[in-house]
Structure 1
Amino acid sequence: MRGVTRASALPVLRTLPWPTLAAAGGVGLLLAAVPRLTDGTPGTGPALSLLRCVALAGALGLAFLLDDPARHTTAAVPVRRLARQALRAALVAPPVALWWAAAVLLVPAEIRPPVGDVTLEAAAVCLLTLAGAAAGIRLTDRARPGPGVAAGLLASAVLAPLLLPERWALFVPVGDERWAAAHDRWALLLAAAVAAWGLYGAERVGRHR
């Protein structure tokens, strides 16, 4: 099985949505560079909002990562769906990590929010997006769940700050007394996203039978 997975790495690499990922990454880097491109230096609050927008841009690109026009053909290969999806994620993980590091470094150090906590938020958003894409594949026959997942992500980004009660707030400013508790919730969301991806990434048992 490992040999088959390794042999499929190069073909999968060629079929990844690199133009979409590059476009999303470019938008994210432009957003991160805003403080350096403007005359005045914004405070930590605007810088945090920019980095959250950068994370959203990256997640929008990743919404299309699991799109597979040949889905109903590749379903017959001797590699489980979750392994194929994990391979796609593993291939883009290094460039995505470098992209995020570049985005963080573009924000001037004097206004940069806590990097570890903001990275936790970004990781949770990206993993939730991938879990949503896996669910779209598991629950429907669509070969391209990306557009629907991207639309749902945008809607969630707009509605979550408005609808979540104060005690469950996720998007809190730096220095707020709820900061630590909010990032405990982000960690729970990250763990839930990994579990959901594992659940929805697997084929249905009936199909193997």
Structure 2
Amino acid sequence: MPRLRGELVVAVGRTLPLGLLGAAGAAGLLMAALTRATGEAGEWLALPLLRAAILAFAIGLVFLLDDPARHTTSTVPTPRPVRTGLRVALVLPLVTAWWTVALLLVPRDLRPPVADITLEAGSAFALAVTAAVVTVGCTDLTRPGARVASGLLTSAVLALLFWPGRWALFVPVQDDRWAAAHDRWAVVLTGAVLVGVLGVREPVRRWSRRGGRGGPGRGSYS
């Protein structure tokens, strides 16, 4: 059993999209580093740049479940929730390290409250992974990352433009709504985790891209 677990960890580790995660992480760190070169505008640009860095890395995370061999591995004894959970567990140290570096790149006097901005980052990362989980659970796509990334980016832009002010999420540190906004971020994080946990279960049937329920000769099973 220990050998089998070790082989599973190695096999899953080899399928991680480290190249895409590295590119997204590098783009995000570059944005965080720009906070050191904003001059007099740094006081009001630091937070938007750090949020842009979070979004960049979150876009990389939506590729976490891309697996060209998905339809082959779906028949292995290890359940899909275990394989997905292992992917998340393997990438979690990388996410933690990346976020630590991103925070340190922001000058101390410009850095927003660490606990609150970390809550925003955790919510964005959880939403990214959950979106990938739901897409994998509801489609037959082997590489859903590109579609999910497009949806995540579009949703972020629409939220910035049209999100109701009374439920504001993206507010400046000096805004009186800062504390209330982060109460909402906590709700977002909790909801994303719950949906992700429920969505990662092995579906009995899945809708095929051609339409119709999975079944003999028509759809596909997990």
* TM-score interval, smaller chain: over 0.9
Equivalent residue runs for 1:189-204 within 5 Å: 189-204=188-203
Matching of residues 32-181 of structure 1 within 5 Å: 32-36=32-36, 38=37, 40-181=39-180
- Paired positions, count: 207
1:153-191 Cα distance to aligned partner (Å, 9 max, x none): 100110002222111111011011111111011011101
* 1:42 Cα deviation after fit: 3.4
CA displacement at 1:40 relative to structure 2: 1.7
Q: What is the CA–CA distance in structure 2 between the aligned matches of 1:197 and 1:5, rounded to whole Å?
A: 24
Q: By how many angstroms is 1:147 displaced?
A: 0.5
State the TM-score, normalized to the length of structure 1.
0.93
Greater RCO, 1 or 2 (C-alpha within 8 Å, sep 6+): 1
Q: Is the 8 A contact 2:35 2:42 kept in 1?
A: no
8 A Cα contact 1:44 1:174, kept in partner: no
Counterpart secondary structure, 1:33: helix
Structure 1 position 143, deviation (Å): 0.8
Local SS of the residue matching 1:172: coil
Answer yes or no: is the 8 Å Cα contact 1:124–1:193 preserved in 2.
yes
Percent identity of the aligned residues?
Answer: 53
Counterpart CA distance in 1 for 2:139 and 2:163 is 29
TM-score normalised by L of structure 2 = 0.88
Of structures 1 and 2, the larger Rg is shown by 2
**Long gaps (5+) in structure 2:** 206-220
Alpha-carbon distance change, 86 to 2 in structure 1, aligned in 2, over 3 angstroms: farther
Would you tell me which structure has more helix in proportion to its own residues?
A: 1
CA distance in 2 between counterparts of 1:190 and 1:119 reads 11
User: Alpha-carbon deviation of 1:60?
Assistant: 0.6
RMSD over aligned Cα, in angstroms? 1.7
> Are the structure 2 counterparts of residues 39 and 79 from structure 1 closer, same or farther at C-alpha, using a change threshold of 3 Å?
closer
- Cα 1:60–1:10 change in 2 (3 A) is same
Q: CA shift at 1:8, angstroms? A: 0.6
Q: Secondary structure at the match of 2:41?
A: coil
Residue by residue over 1:1-36, the C-alpha shift from the partner in whole angstroms, topping out at 9 and shown as x without a partner, is 887444311111111111101100111111111132
Deviation at 1:199, TM superposition (A): 1.4
How far has the Cα of 1:115 moved from its partner? Answer: 1.1
Matching residue of 1:30:
30
